[in-house]
Amino acid sequence: MLKILHNPRCGKSRQTLKIINESGNEVEIIEYLKDTPSESELTSVLLKLNVSPLEIIRKGEPIFKENYRGKSFSDEEWIKVLVKNPILIERPIVVKGDQAILGRPPENVRKLL
């Protein structure tokens, strides 16, 4: 089963979910702004993506520009920032077993189908 860290207000996230639904795969939808992943869950997702926390931060968000731009933190500190401010997590992220992809562009999800 697939899991998607989803924001229904995001076009890319909706497009990625549509591709999954059309494929016939079962998917668990996690609206991460309401049901924020824990630090350990986010760490697990980052390992599956094979990226650092900084690589999934939405740097265009006002909260990033106002509070975090130009600052240097450890990976663990960035994970705390992301859990505290889930709007900063790039979306969508799709997880299947021990693999994950960022759905930008949405067609990336086909690698997991």
**Domains contained in the chain, number:** 1
Please, how many CA atoms are within 13 Å of residue 22, restricted to the half-sphere of its CB?
10
pLDDT band at 80 (very low <50, low <70, confident <90, very high): very high
pLDDT band at 82 (very low <50, low <70, confident <90, very high): very high
Alpha-carbon gap, residue 111 to 16, rounded angstroms = 12
What's the sign of the alpha-carbon dihedral 4, 9, 13, 15? positive
Spatial strand order in the sheet of 2-6:
27-31, 2-6, 93-96, 99-102
Determine the pLDDT at residue 96. Answer: 97
Determine the pLDDT at residue 34. Answer: 96
pTM: 0.94
Residue tagged active-site, from 3, 6, 10, 112: 10
Is 10 tagged catalytic? yes
pLDDT tens-digit series, residues 18-77: 999 999 999 999 999 999 999 999 999 999 999 999 999 999 999 999 999 999 999 999
Range(s) of the domain holding residue 90: 2-112
Alpha-carbon gap, residue 39 to 108, rounded angstroms = 25
- CATH code of 95's domain: 3.40.30.10
Beta strands in the chain (DSSP E): 2-6, 27-31, 93-96, 99-102
* Start-to-end C-alpha separation, the chain: 10
Determine the pLDDT at residue 98. Answer: 97
Determine the pLDDT at residue 63. Answer: 97
pLDDT tens-digit series, residues 96-109: 999 999 999 999 99
